[in-house]
Amino acid sequence: MKPKVYITRKIPEPFINRLSLICDVRMWEKEDTPVPYEILKNEIEDIDGLLCMLTDNIDDSLIRKAKRLKIIANMAVGYNNIDINSATNHGIMVTNTPDVLTKTTADLTFGLLIATARRLIEASDYLKNGDWKSWSLMQLTGQDVYGSTLGIIGLGRIGEALAKRAKGFDMEIYYFNRRRKYEKEEELGVQYAPLEELLKISDFVCIMTPYTPETKNLIDYEQLSLMKKNAILINTARGGIVNETALYHVLKNGGIAGAGLDVFEEEPVSLDNPLLTLPNVVALPHIGSASTATRMKMADLAVTNLIAGVQNEKPKNLVNCIR
């Protein structure tokens, strides 16, 4: 009997075909809505493998329902949507999709940084709204990116790729990381700074850490208040790393100059979120890895991990330690 797998969102045909050679495949057919929790709870009972997205909350009560699940293959590099402890306790492997999205996400992060600093979205809206009556000297002026100081919080794969991009803009680069990465400092031309110091000296602060209990609300009132008045905060990691209420108040009161956000505490973000009312906030719908080529690579990697898991092999991107 073929192993059974469930896919929580429609993925391109060739991946389904590849999986179908080996597995019995069931899938949530809708492209633009996540599978309802109750449906997933039914489906998970007798499957061997689950391919899921960052929009699926794979919590303990869901994992408990699974009778024979061997692997949860997440199609994202972040896996904060999965209760890893519970999976590990139940002997279930969890995988992610690192590396293939590193450069694409670093590109988007740097693009968002420029867009926020140079007010690109505001300027485009200004033109399209018919407000462009004449060119004037100080109209829509923003901040220079080149030669400024960048603070990277979290020097992982994507943080490193961001540093490489910033080098080309002659930025002075500082990083904070739980473990100081001496070996990277010369290679990348980056300097270590404790978090408080980094916040005080940076013109741009980019959040590049995974979302864990330790990084929840890592950037709160106290941290935001250390930042320069001209500073811009960029978050393409996870919304919960920043206290959004604090960010709103600090932006509103001119404590910092702007924010570029690709992620939110609640996604999709509610249109009532006050951050969306601020002209100095550039808001994107979680598109860090969203290039066509990269999304195909992520699907490919997730499927490869899933197949290894259901065949009792060790998948390439195992993130937990079982047995």
Per CB under 6 A, residues contacting ligand GLV are: 54, 76-78, 101, 288-289
Nearer to ligand GLV among residue 4 and residue 103 (C-beta): 103
Nearer to ligand GLV, 100 or 198 (CB): 100
Tell whether omega for the bond before 194 is within 30 degrees of 0, i.e. cis. no
Q: Are 285 and 268 in contact (CB under 8 A)?
A: yes
Report residue 79 as tokens.
């896996």
Catalytic-labelled residue, pool 238, 244, 265, 295: 238
Work out how close the CB of 54 gets to ligand GLV at its nearest, in angstroms, rounded to a whole number.
6
Burial class (CB in 10 A: 0-12, 13-18, 19+), 283: middle
Rounded to a whole number of angstroms, the minimum distance from the CB of residue 261 to ligand GLV is: 13
Contact 21, 43 (CB under 8 A): no
Q: In terms of CB distance, is 77 or 299 closer to ligand GLV?
A: 77
Q: Is 90 one of the catalytic residues?
A: no
Q: Which of 9, 43, 160, 286 is catalytic?
A: 286
Q: How far is the CB of 297 from ligand GLV (least distance, A)?
A: 12
286 as an active site residue: the answer is yes
Q: How far lies 145's CA from each of 47, 116, 152, 167, in Å?
A: 50, 10, 15, 11
Q: How far apart are CA 235 and CA 277, in angstroms?
A: 18
Instruction: Report the residue number, 76 or 250, with the smaller CB distance to ligand GLV.
Output: 76
Query: C-beta of 155: minimal distance to ligand GLV in Å?
Result: 17
Instruction: State the nearest-atom distance from the C-beta of 269 to ligand GLV, in Å.
Output: 14
Output the six-digit token pair for 270.
Answer: 């509610």
Residues 6+ apart with CB under 8 A from 284: 108, 112, 260, 261, 262
Rounded to whole angstroms, how far apart are CA atoms 173 and 157?
Answer: 16
Give the separation between CA 94 and CA 305, rounded to whole angstroms: 9
72 and 96 in contact (C-beta within 8 Å)? no
Least distance between ligand GLV and beta carbon 83 (Å): 16
Which residue is listed with tokens 């500073």?
A: 231
Examine the residue annotation and report whether 323 is marked as an active-site residue of this protein: no
154 or 288: whose CB is closer to ligand GLV? 288
Hey, what are 99's tokens? 């590396």
Q: In whole angstroms, what is the distance from residue 2 CA to residue 20 CA?
A: 9
How far apart, in whole angstroms, are the C-alpha atoms of residue 9 and residue 25? 12
Which positions are annotated as active-site residues? 238, 267, 286
